[in-house]
Structure 1
């Protein structure tokens, strides 16, 4: 009897514990989905290219703060804070007080924020103020945005000068687009709202910050949708949208070994390439044997930029997969240097780095572990291309041209030889027809 009562008591305690865990889990999920937007990239992702996720010259936020190679920039941050306060005529205490009101929201923006920052609110606020003001100085100075009561930096300033624009700014811009190196948008909007009341009253602080980031990152398109930080704002500007509605249709499970869409194979099948003007990465389309692709400029920062955008889409639930699907598609059609040359000749790829081999390796690296999002534009284009290639004549044409290219190794005289062969074969048929026609149509 006692054992039965003990079992009932254990069951009741278990139900209570499960209920508590349910309430706790729902609260935690709600916080993570609604507030967290800045993540530590998991080791299984960073192991492929650790340097792509690490800042080179400046840290923003807590994740890389204090790293030895980034310490020289701390002095410049303090000088920028001095200029910021002098230009805006703001007291430092006012800034601290404004951010104190939202400090918990700022902390909640970070995933895996260590105890040293969670427990020491004063230190965390100091970091937000110092890094936030420096980031705003960078945005205002390098976008040429007029400022009230301007305070000029010295001509020989290492950061805010012509010298800094040429030699330092490209590295700062790169570091501002790293997922682990972000500041919550709330920091920037609170600072802008306090310092630029005239513009924020008519536009709103967030719109002012979006405009600054758009100019700074050369995303000339309007930024739509929720902006969580500089990287998220940049992504929205690149895609020119909030997450799009998926097209209706069956969800396919892909065998990656069957996805052979190299650019040269597509051309052999009779498909031509066209630049999509004002196109965005996820706006890939296929119609009337024409594959429309947006222009891609490849430079030294391309790999880091795309890897961090892919990591953000992977870790932040609900943000969409436009960039990831685009990289998957491009990785599929770029298999060798001939594919790169073909895309360059059509103006789809513009490069500021080395050889075609470098670009091939770049897309092999970028597309590792990526997937096509079912219903996305690249997915729809891929499906339509596969349907086109299944038609018997298109298969014959592609196989014939591919085999002939392989055997002739791109000898230009081979094209003339096949033309003469076809012409000779045609003349032979005509001659044969004239020879045998009297037997079937004798003169009366």
Structure 2
């Protein structure tokens, strides 16, 4: 048996040869056999004429004459595998066509954090106590909290005198819309997905309402292991603000409306969520009194402060981010040239240096002062003074900033304000000395072990983040700071002040040296002057 190296060509050749033999046989039977004689057994193969057999043998290459039966079986197997391969590719292309449908991406707002962002710090994006939504649903180490989720649902049904079907059927109507909010395929069945939405959603609402109006009022014991303001609540809040651990806001709105008997509760969950997540705010400025109004007293009233007056929120992380950017008076309007104008360019990783570090700016004559405002991102620069609001850093700040940055990197319809602020602070802080200087002026307050940990935190936050400086709300301010620091006179003046006016003793020494220099100069002048112009002698 002669080896055949190109199996694909051999397969197509055999198929072509078989078809040609069939056609030639049919033509020969049509020409030589009467019509009546052709009514034979259709399953019986007609004999091949000797002349045609000779022609067929002449058409076959010499190396194909000795192919054994086992070779034919091998070729048939190869053809079968090739057919399966083509079918598999066709199915993948059909799936790609369905994924390409623009409608399937329209409501996408809850993302899986890209691997490039989570490398080296996966813990900041993965919940440690409670799972919400499908991404971490059913994880073994998070199942302990499921018992308390069922307790929350039980309390809700008992308090409202509702049957569970009262929630399942309305949420079933939102299933397709809710699934479209999540990135990638959700493998849960319809019943499992709806059950998860109801269970997780009621759990979140119980926490929100308990933090606003008191858990005792909802029927929980004062020593409840979860539904009480204990130390574990901070860890739960940190898990619930993660990007991969979100429930669509319209699902929570529907559940609260079903509990209250009024489906027009849009926006109220947002108010409850802001009150619940307030301890995570990266500022120690207290919420205004209107934020702290007890939510239970405002049930059914539309006059309560609404943080989402312009547009609907997507989920709790989106609401929290908007509250960070909206607290206090709004900044002046800027032209945010966002995503749709980026079709012809890609952000350059080399152009993310907004500003120099604190040490360099200080040597260039720039002063730092704390700005009194609860908007931690609202930085100002005027007359050589960089005014930065106070930033409070605790053990949950890193996870909070990382998830906010991941959301801004993934979602098309939001600005990069938080990313810009973090990169700005990352540029300012290069060493523990920079942190110490900002801490001295009250700009940074942290509960970490040392200034070195704070510096390391900022230096790791934006390692794989890419954004365009032109779209940064701090781009103009950075240009002003850099232009001021490049003026040599400012650097000379700063050096003089640092070396000779840094403390009272230095000022006294400098003043004494100046007086001594002036006296010496005067003495020298009068000595030279008296030599060339001696005084006149009296006659």
TM over 0.5: yes
Shift of residue 94, structure 1, vs aligned partner: 1.6
Q: Does 1:213 align with 2:273?
A: yes
Residue 68 of structure 1 deviates from its aligned partner by 1.4
What secondary structure is seen at the aligned counterpart in 2 of 1:180? coil
Cα gap change, 1:21 to 1:88, in 2 (>3 Å)? closer
Number of residue equivalences: 405
TM-aligned CA distance change 1:256 to 1:140, over 3 Å: same
Deviation of 1:411 after TM superposition, in Å, equals 11
Q: TM-score, normalised by structure 1?
A: 0.80
- Taking the TM superposition and a 5 Å limit, the aligned residue runs for 1:420-431 are 421=513, 424-425=516-517, 427-429=519-521, 431=523
- 1:246 aligned residue: 334
Equivalents in 1 of 2:274, 2:169: separation in Å?
29
* Contact 2:108-2:181 within 8 A present in 1 as well: yes
User: C-alpha offsets along residues 66-88 of structure 1, whole Å, 9 cap, x if unaligned?
Assistant: 11111100000000100111122
Structure 2 residue aligned with 1:51 = 123
Equivalent position SS for 2:474 = helix
Q: Show the counterpart of 1:181.
A: 245
Q: Which runs of 5+ in 2 are unaligned?
A: 1-93, 282-286, 292-305, 338-344
Q: What CA distance in whole angstroms lies between the structure 2 residues aligned with 1:258 and 1:173?
A: 33
> In the alignment, what sits opposite 1:66?
138
What's 1:303 paired with?
A: 398
Q: Which runs of 5+ in 1 are unaligned?
A: 1-19
Of residues 172, 178, 181, the one that matches 2:236 is: 172
Partner of 2:224: 157
Q: Distance in 2 between matches of 1:384 and 1:62?
A: 47
Question: How far apart, CA to CA, are the structure 2 residues paired with 1:138 and 1:155?
Answer: 14
Structure (1 or 2) with the greater helix fraction: 1
Cα separation, 2, equivalents of 1:272 and 1:334: 15
Q: Tell me, in whole angstroms, the C-alpha distance in 1 between the residues paired with 2:99 and 2:518.
A: 77
Map of 1:266 onto structure 2: 361
Structure 1 or 2, whichever has the larger Rg, is 2
| Farther-moved stretch of structure 1 (338-347 vs 182-191) | 338-347
After superposition, the Cα gap between the structure-2 partners of 1:158 and 1:244, relative to the gap in structure 1 and judged at 3 Å, is farther
What secondary structure is seen at the aligned counterpart in 2 of 1:100? helix
CA contact (8 A) 1:37 1:109 kept: yes
- CA change 1:156–1:23 in 2 (3 A) is closer
Q: What's the counterpart of residue 12 of structure 1?
A: none
Q: Is 2:322 aligned against 1:236?
A: yes
RMSD of aligned residue pairs (Cα, Å): 3.6
Q: Where in structure 2 are the equivalents of 1:382-421 lying within 5 Å?
A: 382-397=478-493, 421=513
5 Å matches for 1:138-153?
138-144=207-213, 150-153=217-220
User: What is the TM-score of this pair, normalised by structure 2?
Assistant: 0.67
- Note the C-alpha offset of 1:45: 1.2
Assess, with a 3 A threshold, how the Cα gap between structure 1 residues 312 and 431 changes in structure 2: closer, same or farther.
farther
Equivalent positions of 1:319-334 (< 5 A) are 319-334=414-429
Q: 1:433 to 1:265 in 2, by over 3 A?
A: farther
User: Runs of at least 4 residues of structure 1 off by over 6 A?
Assistant: 20-26, 241-244, 251-254, 399-402, 410-416, 437-444
**Alignment partner, residue 13 of structure 1:** none
Task: Encode CA deviations 1:249-289: one digit per residue, 9 max, x unaligned.
Answer: 9x997855976522233233332223333342432221121
Q: Secondary structure of 2:405's partner?
A: helix
Per-residue deviation at 1:196? 2.3
Question: Measured at CA, do residues 23 and 158 of structure 1 come closer, stay the same or move farther in structure 2, by a change above 3 Å?
Answer: closer
Cα drift, residue 27 of structure 1: 3.8
